[in-house]
């Protein structure tokens, strides 16, 4: 086995919110020479990574980022931008919506700092109060279609459905007329 050099960092938290007992957190860093300032930066980067992982989890599970089976890279890009726009709308609406807490959830200390999942839960209550960017669709009449007096010159496709047998092919060969 090869020897891989690195630095193991042990984080000990003084207290946790609530009544939980803090356990040490062990991190591994691939660098060997690290200063105290670098160590502080590393655990703060870990916290940001933790936030990012939960954001991607929210995008995938709640907003359905990975649900559609898109066929092209362009469609995947458009879907990703649509999910990002939905997440941005939830972030912007957190000051407008009220918190619909479940019985086991604590109310946040500041009401304007709701998570996107809690904003999504209360979004249906603010949707009717917002203005719509588009007006109602106008009723329309059907298009002109084929000009009157002209004939359809394209033949309809004949698609045989199901399994054909020797008897069916013999019958169709004798019943077909020349064109």
Beta strand 7-11 pairing with 25-29: antiparallel
Enumerate the domain spans of the chain: 1-67, 73-131
Q: What is the rounded CA–CA span in Å between residue 176 and residue 164?
A: 16
Long-range contacts: 125-132, Cβ < 8 Å, 24+?
125/97, 125/98, 125/100, 126/93, 126/96, 126/97
CA distance 63 to 81: 12
Please determine, for residue 63, whether its predicted confidence score (pLDDT) is greater than 70: yes
pLDDT of residue 146: 83
User: What pLDDT does 165 receive?
Assistant: 65
pLDDT of 119 reads 82
Question: Is pLDDT of 175 > 60?
Answer: no
The mean pLDDT value of the chain amounts to 81
Q: How far apart are CA 112 and CA 118, in angstroms?
A: 11
**Do residues 119 and 99 make contact, with C-beta atoms less than 8 angstroms apart?**
no
- In this predicted structure, the answer to whether residue 27 has a pLDDT above a threshold of 80 is yes
Give backbone dihedrals phi and psi of 55, rounded to 5 degrees, phi first: -65, -45
pLDDT, residue 50, reads 80
Residue 56 confidence (pLDDT) above 70: yes
Residue 27 CA to residue 21 CA, distance in Å, equals: 19
pLDDT digits (tens, 9 = 90+) for 38-54: 888 888 888 888 888 88
- Is the pLDDT confidence value at 160 over 80? no
**How many C-beta atoms lie closer than 10 Å to residue 90's C-beta?**
21
The band of 81, judged by pLDDT with boundaries at 50, 70 and 90, is very high
> Which of 118, 84, 117 minimizes the C-alpha distance to 100?
118
User: What's the pLDDT tens digit per position in 95-152?
Assistant: 888 778 888 888 777 767 788 888 888 877 877 777 777 777 788 887 788 888 888 8
Q: How far is CA 131 from CA 84, 128, 142, in A?
A: 22, 8, 30
Are the C-beta atoms of residues 25 and 52 closer than 8 Å to each other?
A: no
Rg of the chain over CA atoms, in angstroms? Answer: 31
Chain centroid, CA 75 distance in Å = 13
């Amino acid at each position: 086995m090869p020897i891989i050099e690195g630095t193991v960092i042990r984080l000990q938290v003084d207290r946790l919110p609530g009544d939980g007992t803090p356990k040490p957190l062990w991190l591994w860093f691939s660098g060997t020479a690290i200063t105290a300032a670098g160590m502080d930066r590393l655990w703060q980067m870990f916290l940001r990574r933790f936030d990012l992982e939960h954001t991607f989890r929210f995008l995938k599970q709640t907003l359905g980022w990975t649900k559609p089976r898109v066929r092209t890279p362009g469609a995947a890009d458009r879907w990703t931008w649509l999910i990002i726009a939905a997440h941005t709308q939830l972030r912007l609406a957190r000051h407008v919506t009220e918190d619909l807490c479940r019985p086991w959830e604590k109310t946040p200390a500041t009401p304007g700092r709701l998570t996107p999942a809690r904003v999504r839960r209360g979004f249906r209550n603010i949707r009717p109060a917002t203005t719509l960017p588009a007006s109602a669709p106008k009723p329309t009449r059907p298009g002109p279609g084929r000009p009157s007096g002209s004939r359809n010159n394209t033949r309809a496709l004949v698609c045989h459905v199901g399994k054909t047998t020797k008897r069916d092919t013999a019958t169709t060969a004798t019943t077909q007329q020349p064109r």
